[in-house]
Chain A
Amino acid sequence: MPEALAARGERVDIVGATKLFGPKAALSALDLQVDPGSFVVLLGPSGSGKTTLLRCLAGIERLSSGRISIGGKVVADTNLHLPPERRGLAMVFQDYALWPHMTAARNVLFPLRQMRVSGPEAHRRAHEMLERVGLAHLAGRYPNELSGGEQQRVALARSLVGGVGLLLFDEPLSNLDADMREQLRLAISTLARDSGATSVYITHDQSEAFSLADSVGVLRDGRLVQWGTPEELYRQPASPFVARFTGICTEAPVTRVGSGTGTPGAQLVDVRLPGPRGAVVTATLPRRVNDGAPLEMFVRPSAVHIVAPADAQLVAQVRDVAFAGRGYEHALAAEGPILFTRIFSDQRWERGSSVGMRLSPDGCLVLPADNGHAAPDGNGRANLVDFTAVGSVLPRQAS
C-alpha cells in the first residue's frame, strides 16, 4: 500500500475493554491492537460481543472499564467518553441507516456538511464518491427507491466521502441476497483499502471474514479467543469453538492411537473413530495436547473423498444427495454414528447406497474436546443427527 495512503489510517488500541449490561458482561477485559491502514475482521456468533465492541469503538456505547485509543488519542476510558462525532470515524450499518427523507446525494453530503466543507466542493466530492460506487445516476433517488444493494453502496459512499481514518462495518452484507453480497464485498474490500483508512469489520460469516480480512479476531462471550491471518485460523484453529467457525462438516470424539509424527503444531496422529469397528484415520494435531485429554476431530468437507470400497478407510450410507451445479453434495452416515454433510462428488450416489470414504489428514483437525457445545442427545457431539431410526422406516433408494 502506498505510504501516503497508509498514513491516513488510524491506529486503534483497545486495552482491557469491559462492558456490562446489568450482571452480564458483553465484553470481558478485551485487548486488541489494529495497525493503521489494516483491514481486520471480528468474527463471532450472536452474543459474542463483536457488535458491542464495535459500538464502544464508535462511541455509541460506553465502556464499563478499559480504554480505547484512536490514533494515539484516548477516546474512552472509565472517566472519559468522547461522543461519536468527535472520534473522526465513519460507520456502515447492517440496516444501511440511510435517512429516508434525504436523497442518496444528500445522504452522502451529510458528513461533508458536518465538516463544514464548502457547498461546491462538497457536491463535487459527494458526486465523485457516488461515481466510485457506481451510483452517480441515482443521486436524486430516495432510499426507498433503491434496492438493498444500492442502499448499502450509498451507505459505503457516505462513510468514505469524509476521508476519515477509521471505518467501522457492522455486518453490512447480512441483509443482502447472495449475488449482491459478493458485489458489495468486493466494493468494500477495494474501496476501503484504496482509501487507506483502518477498517474494523464485524460478521458472523466465516467465508466473508476470510475473504476480506488481513487479520481475523474470533470472539466468544466477550473475549478474543484467537487472532491471526485467515490462513492461520483456517489451518490451526486454537480451539473447537474456532474450528467450528471455519467450515467443518462434522465432528466426532476420537481416541488417539500411537504418538504421532511431525513437529508440535503440525503433527499427524492416528485416531480411532467411534463405533464398533472403530476405523483408524490419520489427522492433524494443530497444537500440543495433554496425554489422556479427551479429543475431538473436526473434519472439513474437502477432506472427505468418496472412493471405491477397496480403498476406503470407512464405509458410509448415503442419506441425502443434492445437485450443486458442478456436482453433487451428499450426506453420508458412517458408524458411530457420524454424519458427514456437504461431501462433494462429480458422481451422484443415490440415497441408501453404500460408499467408501477416505479422509485427508490436512482436513481433519484433532483438538481437545470442550463442553461448550453439547448436542441435544447429551453425547457432546454437535452437528449430528441420528438417522438410524428414520432410516429403518424409509424405503431404500434404488442404487
Chain B
Amino acid sequence: MTPTLPAALTPQGQGSSAGTSTGGAGPCGTGTGGDAANGNGNGNGGGFGLDNGARPGRATALRSKMADAARHYAGQWLVWAILAFLVAVPVGAFLVQVFVPRLFDQGTSWFTLSNLTQAFQGHTFLGLFNSLWVSTVVCVIDLVIGGGVAWLSMRTTIGGRRIWPGMMWGLLLVPTWLMAQGWQYLTEPNGVLSQFGLYSPLVHHIIFSPIGVVLVDSLATAPYAYLTLSAALGGLGSQFEEAVRVHGGGRLATFRVVVPVLAPAVLASVALVFVETMSDYGVASTLAFQSHFTMATYGIYQAINNLPAQFPVAGAISILLLASAAIPLALQSRVTRGRSYAILSGRTRPATRYRLGRAGKWSLTSVVGLFFAVALGAPGLGAFAGSFVANLGSPLGGQSLTLANYGEVFSGDIAYSHSIAEGASGTSGPVLLSTMLAAITATITVVVGLAVARLLVARRPGRFTKAGDLLILGSIALPGIVLGAGYIFAFNLPIASRLGVDMYETLPLLVMGYLATSIPTTSRIMMGPVAQVHGSLMEAGRVHGARALSALRSCYVPVVSRVLVLVWLVTLTKTFWELPISQLLYPPGQETVSVAIDSWNNNYHPEVGAAMTVVALGACFLVIGLVLGGFRLLAPKGWRRMGGWRSVA
C-alpha cells in the first residue's frame, strides 16, 4: 500500500515524501508501485479513451454541464411555474384589478380604493359580517365537538373508538353542499319527514335559518378540529397528568394543566375551522341562500353572475375574505410566540386511557354515535329517502313514493331549465363526465403533487422553495369561489384572446381550476409521508446501477404507492363533488354532477336531484372500490406491505 501525501502530513522519521512510495504495505496490501504515488496514476484508458485520467473534450464537458444544470434546475422551475400559472397568475390579476381597474379595462382609474370601500357597504358588508360571526361560532362549537370526540377516542375506553376516526374522515370527504342539501330534503315542507308524518315547522324554521347554517357548518368542519386535536393528544404523553396526580391534583387540576399545553393545537384547530368556514361556498349557496341568509362567498358568485359581471366588487369581497383568514393566524402567532410547547420526545410514553364504567361507556358511545348519525345519517337519509318521493317539497302537494325519479335521472326527459342547455342528458352525462374529469385531475395531481412534496421536504431546499411553499399555503387558504372567479376574469381578458388562449368555457380550463385547488392541498398532505422516505433508498438505487427515472420507478414509487393511491382517491372524491369552480367554469351543456344536482334543486325538481345524488354516490363508491380492489389484487405483494404513512427506512 502506498501512502502518497506531502511530507507535512506524514510523521517524521518515516522518510517519506510527496510522490515517492515507501513500499510500506499494510497487512494485506502489496503496494502497487511508485508511479501511483506520484499522482500520475497509470490510466486504464477510461471511458473516454484517454490516458492518465485525462479530461474529456470541451464540447463533451459543456454538454455534460448543460445537461446537469437542466436536470438539476429544470424540474424545480417547471413545478413552481406550473403552480404559479395555475394559481398566482389568474388570482393575482383578479385581486389586483380591485385597485388598478384600468389595467384590466375594468374602470377608468389607475389606482382606486373605491371598490374596496364599496365592499363595506350594504348587502356586501352584510355577507361579510354574517360569514365572520358564523365562522366564530362554528369555531367554538367545533372545539367542543372535535375536541370532545378526540379526547374520548384517544384517552378513554369508549366503545367504537376504532371506527370513529374513519367516520371523521368520511365526514371530511362529504361536500358541505351535499350535507346542506340532505338537510333540506329532510326538513322542508312536504319533504322526507313529512312523508312519515314527522314534519315540524319549528325544525324547518331552525334549519332554514342562520342557526341551521351554523349547525351544518359545524358538523361539516368538525373533522378539522378533530384531526388537529387528536394528533396533538396522540403526542401528549401521560407525564403531565401523572405529575399532577402524584402531587395531589384531581381531574379538574389535570384539565387545567393539560389544556394550556395543547394551546398550539387548539389555536391551529380554531384557525383551520375559521378559514374553512369563511371560505365555504357549499352551505352558502344552498342552505343559506334558501334561507335568505347572505354570506360572503355567495356574494362573490352573485357579483360574477350579474350582467355585466362586477369583477371589482367580487375581487374586493375576495380580498376581505382572504384578509379575514389572517385574524386567527395572527392570534395564534401572538399567543404562542416566545413559548416552548415541545412535549414530544423519545421518552414520551403513550398515555393511559381512563377506564369508563359500564354506564359511562354506553352513554358516551351513544352520544358520539348520535353525533355521526346526525352528521352523516340525517342528510344521507334525506337524500336517499327523498329520491323515492315524487314532487318532493312541492307546495302543491302530490307527494308519493316512486321510482320515476331514477328513471328521469337515467333518461333525462325533462328539460329542466333554459339556463342549462336544452337536451342536456341525464345521469350518464354528469356522472361520467365528473368521473372522467376527477380521474384526470387526480392523476395529474398525484404526479405534480409528489414532485412538489419532494421539493418541499428536500434536505437542501432549492432557490424557489420558500416562495413556492408560501404560494402553496396561500392557495390552500384560497376559497374555491375566488379561484373560479379569478379564472373567469383572467381568461376573459383581451390579452388572453390576443395570445390565442381561448379557454373560457372549456373542459381544459375546468380541469385547470380543479388542479389549482387540488395540487397545493395534496402536496401538503403528501409532505409527511414523503419526508418519512429516507433519501438513501433512491441513492442506493443509483449507486447500484439504476438511472434516475428507473430508480424512482423501482425504488421510490412502490414505497409510497399506498399513499399515492389514497391521495388519488381523496382527490378524485373531492373533485367529483366540487361545486364552486364547477359552477363558474363548466362548459355549457357539459354539467358536472354538482352543477346538475344543483340545477335540479333550483328548478323545482329536488327529488331528481336527490336521485342523482344517490346514483352519483353509488358511482363514486364503485370507482373507489374498483381502485382499492385493483390495488389489492394487482399490486405486487411488496407494494401492499407498505404502510404509506409509517416510517419506511
Report A's interface with B, CB cutoff 8 A.
Answer: 1, 6, 11, 13, 15, 21, 31, 33, 35-39, 58-60, 62, 67, 69, 71-74, 77, 79-81, 83-87, 89-91, 93-95, 97-103, 106, 110-111, 114-115, 142, 144, 158-159, 162, 168, 193, 213-215, 224-230, 232, 235-238, 263-266, 286-288
Contacts and interface: CB of A to CB of B under 8 A. Distances in A.
Interface string B153-197: 000000000000000000000000000000000000000000000
B525 to A, nearest CB: 21
B41 interface: yes
Given A35-B1, A85-B547, A265-B12, 5 more contacts: A35-B29, A91-B543, A100-B649, A101-B636, A144-B641
B545 A85 contact: yes
20 contacts: A11-B44, A31-B39, A35-B32, A37-B32, A59-B543, A60-B539, A69-B41, A72-B42, A74-B46, A85-B543, A85-B544, A110-B541, A110-B546, A111-B545, A168-B543, A214-B29, A215-B26, A235-B11, A236-B11, A266-B13
Interface string B4-34: 1100011111100000000011111111100
Interface string B523-567: 000000000001011011111111110110011001101000000
B37 interface: yes
Contacts of A265: 11-14
Interface in B25-69: 25-32, 36-37, 39, 41-48, 51-56, 60-62, 64-65, 68
B11 A228 contact: yes
A79 B52 CA distance: 18
A80 B638 contact: no
Contacts of A114: 544-546, 550
B79 interface: no
A89 B543 contact: yes
Contacts of A60: 539, 542-543
B639 interface: yes
A73 B44 contact: yes
Given A74-B56, A101-B642, A214-B29, A110 B544 contact: yes
A22 B625 CA distance: 50
Contact of B649 (A39, A83, A97, A168): A97
B2 interface: yes
Interface of B: 1-5, 9-14, 24-32, 36-37, 39, 41-48, 51-56, 60-62, 64-65, 68, 460, 534, 536-537, 539-548, 550-551, 554-555, 558-559, 561, 636, 638-639, 641-642, 648-649
Given A99-B555, A100-B641, A101-B636, A229 B1 contact: yes
Contacts of A79: 61-62, 64-65
B27 A214 contact: yes
Contacts of B548: 83
Which 3 pairs show the lowest CB-CB distances between chains A and B? A265-B13, A73-B46, A114-B545
Given A79-B61, A101-B641, A226 B9 contact: yes
B346 to A, nearest CB: 15
A73 to B, nearest CB: 3
Contacts of B25: 214
B13 A6 contact: no
Residue from B10, B53, B54 whose CB has the most chain A CB atoms within 10 Å? B53
A184 B537 CA distance: 21
Contacts of B636: 101
Contacts of B555: 99
A83 B548 CA distance: 9
A83 B542 contact: yes
A90 B544 contact: yes
A236 B65 CA distance: 44
A266 B53 CA distance: 39
B55 A74 contact: yes
B31 A35 contact: yes
B544 A111 contact: yes
Contacts of B545: 85, 110-111, 114-115, 162
Contacts of B14: 228, 232, 236, 265
Contacts of B64: 79-81
A131 B32 CA distance: 32
A58 B65 CA distance: 18
Given A11-B41, A13-B39, A101-B639, A162 B1 contact: no
B537 to A, nearest CB: 6
Contacts of A115: 545
B11 A287 contact: yes
Nearest to A230: B26
A214 B543 contact: no
B540 A97 contact: yes
A227 B5 contact: yes
Contacts of B36: 11, 33, 35
Contacts of B2: 33, 35
A13 B53 contact: yes
A369 B90 CA distance: 66
Contacts of B68: 62, 81
A142 B536 contact: no
A223 B262 CA distance: 48
Nearest to A103: B638
A227 B539 contact: no
B37 A90 contact: no
A238 B641 contact: no
Contacts of B65: 79-80
A71 B42 CA distance: 9
B540 A33 contact: no
Contacts of A33: 2, 4, 36-37, 39, 41
Nearest to B53: A69
A368 to B, nearest CB: 13
Contacts of A99: 537, 540-541, 554-555, 558-559
A187 to B, nearest CB: 16
Nearest to B561: A101
Given A21-B460, A101-B558, A115-B545, A38 B10 contact: no
Residue from B26, B48, B51, B56 whose CB has the most chain A CB atoms within 10 Å? B26
A74 B54 contact: yes
Contact of B5 (A15, A31, A62): A31
A238 B26 contact: no
Given A111-B544, A168-B543, A287-B12, A102 B638 contact: yes
A89 B62 CA distance: 25
Contact of B1 (A142, A168, A215, A287): A215
Nearest to A101: B638
A38 B29 contact: yes
Given A79-B62, A81-B68, A85-B547, A93 B638 contact: no
Given A73-B47, A83-B548, A110-B541, A286 B12 contact: yes
Contacts of B27: 214
Contacts of B642: 100-101
A37 B29 contact: yes
A93 B540 contact: yes
A327 B477 CA distance: 67
B12 A288 contact: yes
B32 A97 contact: no
A224 B5 CA distance: 9
Contacts of A37: 29, 32
B371 to A, nearest CB: 38
B76 to A, nearest CB: 16
Contacts of A86: 47
A122 B547 CA distance: 19
Contacts of B32: 6, 35-37
B28 A238 contact: no
A73 B45 CA distance: 7
A227 B9 CA distance: 7
A111 B29 CA distance: 28
